[in-house]
Amino acid sequence: MASILRRYNSLAIRRPLLTGVVSAALLFGAGDVLAQQGVEKRGLARHDYIRTARLTAYGGLIFAPIICGWYGILERLPKAVITSPRFGVLLKVGLDQFVFTPGLIAVFFTSMTLMEGKGSEEVGRRLHGAWAPTLVRNWGVFIPTQLVNFSVVPLQHRLLVVNVVNLFWNTYLSYANSQATKEETVKA
């Protein structure tokens, strides 16, 4: 296990975006598998592999590049603004959770809806029904996570920390998205 972590660390330093893309894709896909098998109890015969592919694609192609860029921006906050290490952590968590994350959750539901082949009307319905409750639940998980992440975790490992927490969060997101999809089907 130690050799795997050393290899990951080396890759995260040398190729941060590639490492983030691969780990996010794998963990988003795994979160969907957990949602379908552990929460929804679908069994392999009823597993929606296309849904898993959508979540995997979102994690690797949309989420990871955005987060890698965002963490870089947070690291470059002017030193004049960050008057103490504690204030720096609180500022980063505040910006991350109250400025950045609301948009990222909208990107998630929009991406999923469009990848399902649905249009802008369905995007609006899904955002209206799922965005606010998801954001509030996100704060319960990620404010504490990011307090730890921004205070003690080196930059090259922050996406990994988020991805590990995301394994469980993505299980919830996948389930929430599938429930929003079911509600759209019932209303249509």
pLDDT at site 187: 56
pLDDT given at position 83: 84
CA atoms of 188 and 180, how far apart (whole Å): 12
For residue 186, what pLDDT is reported?
52
Digits of tens for pLDDT over the chain (188 positions)? 788 888 888 888 899 899 999 999 999 999 899 989 998 899 999 999 999 999 999 999 999 999 999 999 998 988 878 889 899 999 999 999 999 999 999 999 999 999 999 999 999 999 999 999 999 999 999 999 999 999 999 988 888 898 889 888 888 877 777 777 666 555 55
Contact, 16 vs 68, CB < 8 A? yes
What per-residue confidence (pLDDT) applies to 183? 63
| Gap between the Cα atoms of 46 and 107, Å rounded | 27
The pLDDT tens digits of the residues spanning 62-114 come to 999 999 999 999 989 888 788 898 999 999 999 999 999 999 999 999 999 99
Q: Are 111 and 62 in contact (CB under 8 A)?
A: yes
Cα–Cα distances (Å) from 112 to 29, 37, 45, 58, 138, in that order, read 13, 19, 23, 8, 18
Kindly report each contact of residues 137-144 with a partner whose C-beta sits within 8 Å and lies 24 or more positions away, as own/partner: 137/172, 138/97, 138/101, 138/105, 138/169, 139/97, 141/165, 141/169, 142/96, 142/97, 142/101, 142/169, 143/93, 143/97
